[in-house]
Amino acid sequence: MEMSLFTILDVLGTIAFAISGALSAMNRRLDLFGIFIIAFVTAIGGGTVRDILIGSTPVMWMENIVYIYLIGVVTILAIIFRNKLNYLKKSLFLFDTIGLGVFTITGVETGIQNGLDPIVSVALGAMTGTFGGVIRDILCNEIPVIFRKEIYATACLIGALAYVILYDMGVDADVIYLVTSLTVISIRLVVVKYHISLPSFYPASPKSSKLR
């Protein structure tokens, strides 16, 4: 794989999500292979669903053996150094945020490269960025991160929108990659630090409290 900035981001996102998956799994007291499975699924989940929706099969981790080795090595390191990642909750948040940021960008890029409408590419980017975390949370029996209080999907939608705008303006590709992934990451850091949430909406009727 040539070492373009795009490739570096892709590798970074894979590493970040693999670590976040391993941390979630260790927190759930899963066994050695449970940790590997969650790390793997979190790391390749977004890219896999992106490739399936586009029709680009076999999916990326099947075409390039580097992904599996990378995830394996990163997971082993996460297990070995688990005690140094003292603030577990903060570490998981940090790595999930990095993965979200860079995978949103690869998703939007893939949409654009395949000639899809910019709005569709934004949706694809949001899906690519968030899917790994959602799968990790479902398997670890957590409420998916996109549904917790602070802004999550909004962050990657804003970053993805920034992508298509900068792309349309003819800005250099490497600049776009950096600016947009940092946008997503920054928004997440800020909203979690200051506990910023979006409004909720629900009908006022008392009958609406439970569906069953």
Measured from the CB atom, the residue of 15 and 172 that comes closer to its own copies is 15
CB of 33 to its own copies, least distance (A): 5
Residues 91/23, Cβ–Cβ less than 8 Å = yes
Residues 190/196, Cβ–Cβ less than 8 Å = yes
User: Chain centroid to CA 23: how far?
Assistant: 15
CB of 51 to its own copies, least distance (A): 9
Measured from the CB atom, the residue of 98 and 146 that comes closer to its own copies is 146
Measured from the CB atom, the residue of 8 and 138 that comes closer to its own copies is 138
How far apart are the C-alpha atoms of 127 and 91, rounded to whole Å?
23
Calculate the alpha carbon distances from 87 to 18, 27, 82, 90, 184 in Å.
17, 12, 10, 5, 22
Measured from the CB atom, the residue of 147 and 168 that comes closer to its own copies is 147
CB of 5 to its own copies, least distance (A): 26
Q: Is the peptide bond before 58 cis (omega within 30 degrees of 0)?
A: yes
CB of 194 to its own copies, least distance (A): 16
